[in-house]
Amino acid sequence: MLELDIKNSDRYFEVDHELTFSEELFLCQMADLNIMTAEAGLFTAFAACNIRIVQIDNEWSSDHLSSPIELFEARKKIGILDIDIRRELKQQNYFLASKIIIENLN
């Protein structure tokens, strides 16, 4: 397990990376928000679930296919309120990125 040594938050905990998909999905369903890369292979499976995702990068299909599959747009159309902080991260404005996340928690 990769330990990030974050000790100043009662809302943060590290989890072993040997979870099954169903265990990982259960954790994501219990969370208020999920920060995950849209480049990962399992992102498609998570995007098909009713969990809130913080978008930190482009979807794989956006960068690699001539006709991208816009999963975040599809999720938006059915009412899932994801949070997009790509612009703030690209500008290295981490304060504003965290502020956007906090403001959109509920």
Are β-strands 34-36 and 53-55 bridged in parallel, bridged antiparallel, or unpaired?
parallel
Q: What is the pLDDT of residues 33-69, one digit of tens each?
A: 999 888 877 888 999 999 999 999 998 888 888 887 8
In a domain, 2, yes or no: no
Confidence of residue 94 (pLDDT cuts 50, 70, 90): very high
Q: Are 64 and 43 in contact (CB under 8 A)?
A: no
Q: How many domains does the chain contain in total?
A: 1
In a domain, 12, yes or no: no
User: Which residues partner with 13 through β-bridges?
Assistant: none
- In terms of residue numbers, what domain contains 61? 21-103
In a domain, 10, yes or no: no
φ/ψ of 54, rounded to 5, equals: -95, 120
Q: What is the pLDDT of residues 6-42, one digit of tens each?
A: 676 776 767 777 888 899 899 899 999 999 888 877 8
Residue 71 burial by Cβ neighbours in a 10 Å radius (0-12, 13-18, 19+): buried
92 has pLDDT over 80:
yes
